[in-house]
Each structure stands twice: as C-alpha cells, then as structure tokens.
Amino acid sequence: MIVLGLEGTAHTISCGIIDEDRILSMESSMYRPKTGGIRPLDAAVHHSDVVDSVIWRALEKAKLSIRDIDLIAFSMGPGLAPSLRVTATAARTLSALTGKPILGVNHPLGHIEIGRRVTGAVDPVMLYVSGGNTQVIAHVNGRYRVLGETLDIGIGNMIDKFAREAGIPFPGGPEVEKMAQKGTRLLDLPYSVKGMDTAFSGILTAAMQYLKAGNAIEDISYSLQETAFSMIVEVLERALYVSGKDEILMAGGVALNRRLREMVTEMADEVGVRAYLTDKEYCMDNGIMIAQAALLMYRSGFRMHIEETAVNPRFRIDEVDVPWIADSVRKDYGKAGAESRIEEVDFHGRPAIRKVRIPKNYRNQHLDSKIRYDRMRNEFTMLRKIKDAGIKAPIVYDFDPFSFSITMQRIPGRMMSAELSEGKTEYMHDLGAAVAKLHSTGLAHGDLTVNNIMVNEGIYLIDPSMGKVSAEIEDMAVDIYALEDSVKGLGLDPSIVLKPMISAYISDFKNAGDVLETVGAIRRRHRYV
C-alpha cells in the first residue's frame, strides 16, 4: 500500500510518501515570518500558495503519479486552525479527484509512529517537545496516554518568545542553543515541576527580566536550557517508573537540541533503559509521519468518510484508539524513584525506610544540589504539617541534610496505583475526605498522584516534597489535576473512578467549587494539546 501524507499543523506544509517497506519521498516548505512569531493566517496563506508544488515535487521524487497512491492522509489536529483547514482541503480534493480513501491523523500520533518506525522502538515512553507541545506519552490499555504535560506554554514557544525579545528571528531555538554553549553562569530561574506536569511561563518571565537588566544573553540562554530541560527530563524519568516501560523515544522540533539529547541519553544510561532519538529530519513536522500513522490506522480497520474529516485544533492523542501495539511486560524498578532511592532499615527497633535523594548527573551540579536539598527539607516540613492536620502520613524519625536523607516510619500497604489496577476503589470516599482536610488547612501536596497515595486501613499521603504550606486555589487545583491525570495514565476514566472522592471533597471543603473550576481552567488554557 502506498500512502501520501500531508502535514500542516503550524509553520510547515509537508508531503510524504511511503509504502510498507520504504520511505519514498518527502518535500516541505516552512513559513518564516520576517518579524515576530507565527501569524496563523499568514501561515495558512503560505501553505495555500505552495501546497500544490510540495505535493507534485514529492510525487516526482517518488516517481509516482497521483493515481498510484492508495491512501490520502492529513494532519487533523492539534494545531493552528487556519493551517489545518488548508491541509485538510488539499487532502479532500485529492481524495475526491482520485476516489482514494482518506484518513485524518492525530499530529502527536504521527511523531510517535515515525519515531518507532525509524528507530526500532517498540513500546516506549515518548518525550514530545515542540513549539506548542510538551508532553510525556505512553501506551496503556489500547491508547497512548498523556502522563505529563505543560500547564501553560510549550517549551518551544517559551524559547522562541525569549529569542524574539532578544531580537532573534523565528525560529529562535537554534540560535539560543548556540548562545547557550557559550554561557558559563547559571542564573536562578523558577524550576516548576508539579507532579508529572511542568510550567514554563515563569522561566520566560524571569529570563526576560535578566535580559532587561543587562545580563549576558549567553548566560541567560544557558540557564534557560539547563533549567527547562532538567524539568522535562525529570518528568520523563518519573514516567518510566509510573508506566513500567523500558524504552524512551524523543521527537518534536526541540528534540533537535544537542544538549537535551545529551541529557536524555545520560538519564537513560543511569536508569538502565534504551533511549531512541528520532532521526533529525523526522523530528520536525513532516508528511512522512502522517503517512506512517495512517498506514497503521488503515491496516487496523480505520475508515473515514469525507464528512468525518473536519479538523480539530484541540485533538488529544488519548482520544485515538491504538490497537496495533501490545503493552510490553512492566519493568520492575524495585524501590527506585526519579529523585530518590528507598532502603528498608531498623530505627531503634521500629521498622523504617531511609529515603536518600541521589544526585542526577544530567543536571547542572549546582542546580541539582539545590533541588535535592530544597525538596528534602520541604518533605520534612510537609510531613509534619500533614500529621498535625490529622491526616495519615509517615512519622519522620531522622533528617540528615548532609547525606540528603530522611528516615521515616515504614507504612505497610499498597500504592493506590496497584489497587486501582485491580479494580479496588472502596477507599475513594476516605481519599476525598483526606484531600479536603489537607486543603482546608491551607496545604497542597504538590505531587498528588496514584503513586504517592498508600492504602492501608485508610489513606496515607506520602512524598509531599513539592508541596505548599500556604497554598492558593491554583496549587490545590494542581493537586486534583495531577490525581485525575495519573488515573488516566492507568487507562481508567477519572470521572468514574474518582466520583466518590470528588463527592466527599465537595462535601468537606467549602472552597471545593473554586478549586474544581480552576482545574477546568488549567485544562482549557493549553494552546495545543
């Protein structure tokens, strides 16, 4: 089967042609604004002007005519609506003229599937980093699930906006990378990891302030990369332990960055997993990735009528069934964690665990020491305050800042993730009451996922190292958001699983309505999803 794929979600219009065994051709054209960032309508005009020539050049290179094509595919979303509409119209026209079937493809799905094809990855955790997207994705129970993502802007948009303020034309990422290689001083920028999610707007604001204050752009670029990349690699490592996968795949325009590729490879070596870095020509948006995803979809029985091909600028990858992948056997990481190692110890006759925050070689050494110390100290404080609030949590026996370790009560029981995987949900009302009490006291856990809740004749909250003592509504909303997303990561529907929990939360916390409204706002504020 020969498939023609059209990609046009943002600044690039691209046509790729493949069959089951070969990549036959690819032609692309990028819209490059003279000043500023991407203007959606101007990008769409560019795509409309060149789409015909891009398609015919790809056909000519493949030595094919349009009649030789068996399937027409196009990027249905997510992306910029004007660009998407041009691409879809071109695909519909080809399908109507030739009578060949048509399929709309989810854009991130294309990145994953071309990455798997060209690297040999089988069932990886995917780090997808581009202008509008920053997501960590893994296949669970028949679909790709978003395990973590940006809560505000994509990492590529953040870098491009900084570059624009510095007078660097679009795309700014490559030039920022060059300047970062000359930087030597690490400036203090917000390190914003919230559970499995990240936020980059604070980094952008701080970087712009340093720029206005006259700091060297090389040092700002260096600090921006070291901080932002450390955040996403940390979340990527955490996703390995959550999902039980033993492969990493990386794609998207920002995945071209040499420093990021170096950090991901180093982390993978430390953990003992294989990192697959998608070939650079396929990291950027391209028609080949759309054709490859469509080929797999068509083989699996997917079909569309023309009237079903409306574009969807907010098309989530977890809305797409992916029956062609079988989940691999979960890797047992033992007591390993993204930031620490756990040892079972005896503390003066009491069963205990010793949690040691280990150095991460992929991070800047100064940044790494700061993160480890701050989180260890915060966990010590938060556990005490959670206990004082009448919520079950481990008792801290010893705190050693010199070895970056905490010794605490060993809690028998099981993680909520294991309980949910077996369909056990009878403790959900207790969980809602515990979170309501937590938030009523002005505390936010900061990483309220299914792996940080223990079930043992009630609910125990563990590892609040990213928690807040004087929490605002937004911090509390991130708790609920993180919990819902971690349930999704198990392939479950949080609206069903967490219904008793949310009911108890609303009943016991007077500001629950404001928190839940903010959860919705967090989801809506994503530009691309």
At 78-113, the pLDDT tens digits run: 999 999 999 999 999 999 999 999 999 999 999 999
Q: List the structure tokens of 72.
A: 């027409």
Strand partners, 248: 125, 275
Q: Is 142 in the same domain as 199?
A: yes
Residue with tokens 């906006």: 161
What is residue 256's DSSP assignment? G
Q: Is 498 in the same domain as 404?
A: yes
- Kindly tell me if the per-residue pLDDT of 510 is higher than 60: yes
- Kindly tell me if the per-residue pLDDT of 335 is higher than 80: no
Confidence band, pLDDT 50/70/90 cuts, at residue 489: confident
Q: 453, exposed or middle or buried, with CB in 10 Å at 0-12, 13-18, 19+?
A: buried
Residues 421-477 have pLDDT tens digits of 999 999 999 999 999 999 999 999 999 999 899 999 889 999 999 999 999 999 999
Residue with tokens 């915060």: 378
| Portion of the chain with pLDDT greater than 90, in percent | 84
Strand partners, 150: 198
- Kindly tell me if the per-residue pLDDT of 327 is higher than 90: no
Asked, for residue 327, whether it belongs to a domain, the answer is no
Active site residue 388: no
Q: Is 54 in the same domain as 199?
A: no
Q: How far apart are CA 260 and CA 265, in angstroms?
A: 9
Q: Is 271 in the same domain as 381?
A: no
**Residue 73: which H helix or E strand, with range?**
strand 71-77
Q: Is 277 in the same domain as 147?
A: yes
Q: Is 59 in the same domain as 200?
A: no
pLDDT of residue 526: 59
Confidence band, pLDDT 50/70/90 cuts, at residue 332: confident
Q: How far apart are CA 176 and CA 61, in angstroms?
A: 34
Asked, for residue 490, whether it belongs to a domain, the answer is yes
Q: Is 427 in the same domain as 474?
A: yes
List the catalytic residue out of 152, 318, 447, 479: 447
Last residue of a domain, one of 257, 281, 305: 281
Q: Is 368 in the same domain as 389?
A: yes
- Kindly tell me if the per-residue pLDDT of 303 is higher than 90: yes
Q: Give SS3 for 350.
A: strand
Q: What does the H/E/C string look like for 269-336?
A: HHHCCEEEECCHHHHCCCHHHHHHHHHHHHHCCCCCCHHHCCCCCCCCHHHCECCCCCCCCCCCCCCE
Residues 6 or more apart in contact with residue 115 via CB below 8 angstroms = 121, 124, 126, 249, 250, 251, 276, 278, 282
| Portion of the chain with pLDDT greater than 70, in percent | 99
Show the domain range for 416.
340-524
Residues 243-272 have pLDDT tens digits of 899 999 998 889 999 999 999 999 999 999
Contact 425, 497 (CB under 8 A): yes
Give the domain CATH number at 513: 1.10.510.10
Residues 6 or more apart in contact with residue 153 via CB below 8 angstroms = 132, 161, 200, 201, 204, 527
Q: Is 344 in the same domain as 288?
A: no
Q: Is 354 in the same domain as 439?
A: yes
Asked, for residue 400, whether it belongs to a domain, the answer is yes
Asked, for residue 333, whether it belongs to a domain, the answer is no
Give the domain CATH number at 305: 3.30.420.40
pLDDT of residue 529: 45
pLDDT of residue 339: 82
Confidence band, pLDDT 50/70/90 cuts, at residue 491: confident
| Of 184, 194, 139, residue with least CA distance to 445 | 194
Q: List the structure tokens of 340.
A: 């620490």
Q: List the structure tokens of 109.
A: 């799905």
| pTM, 2 dp | 0.90
First to last CA, the chain: 31
| Of 459, 379, 451, residue with least CA distance to 147 | 451
Contact 200, 235 (CB under 8 A): no
Q: Is 169 in the same domain as 201?
A: yes
Give the pairing of strands 12-18 and 3-7: antiparallel
Asked, for residue 326, whether it belongs to a domain, the answer is no
Residues 389-419 have pLDDT tens digits of 999 999 999 999 999 999 999 998 999 999 9
Q: Based on the structure, what is the number of domains in the chain?
A: 3
Q: Is 223 in the same domain as 97?
A: no
Confidence band, pLDDT 50/70/90 cuts, at residue 527: very low
Asked, for residue 324, whether it belongs to a domain, the answer is no
What is residue 411's DSSP assignment? -
Average pLDDT over residues 212-218: 96
Asked, for residue 331, whether it belongs to a domain, the answer is no
Asked, for residue 328, whether it belongs to a domain, the answer is no
Average pLDDT over residues 207-211: 97
Confidence band, pLDDT 50/70/90 cuts, at residue 336: low
Strand partners, 14: 7, 28
